[in-house]
Amino acid sequence: TTSGTPGQYSNEWPERPLSAAIVEIDIRNIKQPPLDVQTGGGKQFDYTAPDSPAQLYVRAIRNPYDSVWHSNGHYYGTTNQNNVNGQTGKCGTAPSLANEQPPEYLAMFERGVTYGFPNAARGECVLMGGHPRDVKGQCCASNPLTGPQDDPWAVTDYPLGIQPEPTFRADLLLMNIKPIGGVRVLRRPGAGPRADLGI
C-alpha cells in the first residue's frame, strides 16, 4: 500500500500479514506442494508456527528494490518509502497519520528486525522511529563531522512519547538518502560489514 492502509495508489488493497516484508521459504518443510500462503479471503496461513515453511525474515519494509547478499554474510537492501495520499493506520497508542514521507534508506537486513513501514494487519502501526522524545540533537552525537544532529527517523507529527516498534533498529539504516535501482556491493580484504557499499 502507499503508507500501511489502503490508499489512492493501491486500488484499496489492504496490507496482509505477509506483505511489507521479506519472506523466507524453507522448501524442506513443504509437506504437500504447492504451498498456499494466503492470509486473506477466508484463508489463514500460519506463518508464525515454528515449523512453518514460510516465515518472516525482515518486517516493515516497502518495495525493497534491490537487495543483495554480501560475501561477508550480511544482507543489504534499499526501500521505497510512503507515497502521499496514504494513511499509516491506527493501533495501540499510535494515531493514524496522513501524507507522511519519511527518508528512504539503504539498510542492513537482519532476521526479525522491523524497519519502520506500518502494517496494521500484523499490529505494526508505528511509522519509522515514532516520536519517543525531543529529537533535537538526539542522533549521531559521536559523528565527528557534524556533531549532534536531529533524529532523522523520528516522525514529529506523532504526539511526543510514541515509541517505535520494539524490534525497530535505526542503527541498521545505513544511509539517509533516496536509493533507487540496484545495489552493487564491493568488497575489500578486511572490510567491515558496512564498508564498500555502492549504489
pLDDT (0 to 100) of residue 26: 94
Per-residue pLDDT at 119 exceeds 60: yes
- Residue with more model confidence, 75 or 150: 75
Per-residue pLDDT at 145 exceeds 50: no
- All residues at 6 or more sequence positions from 140 whose CB lies less than 8 Å from its CB, including other chains: 146, 148, 149
Per-residue pLDDT at 89 exceeds 70: yes
From the list 199, 121, 114, the residue with the least C-alpha distance to 165 is 114
pLDDT (0 to 100) of residue 179: 59
Percent of the chain with pLDDT over 70: 76
Out of 101-110, 111-120, 138-147, 148-157, pick the least confident: 138-147
Residue 1's pLDDT band, with cuts at 50, 70 and 90, is confident
The model's pTM: 0.80
Residue 102's pLDDT band, with cuts at 50, 70 and 90, is confident
Per-residue pLDDT at 75 exceeds 70: yes
Residue 24 grid cell: 523466507
From the list 39, 161, 159, 169, the residue with the least C-alpha distance to 109 is 169
Q: What does the angle CA 134 – CA 137 – CA 131 come to, to the nearest 5 degrees?
A: 30
User: What are the tens digits of pLDDT across the range 15-62?
Assistant: 888 889 999 999 999 998 999 998 877 778 899 999 999 999 999 998
Mean pLDDT, residues 57-69 taken together: 87
Rounded CA gap, 66 and 63, in Å? 8
Mean pLDDT, residues 161-188 taken together: 73
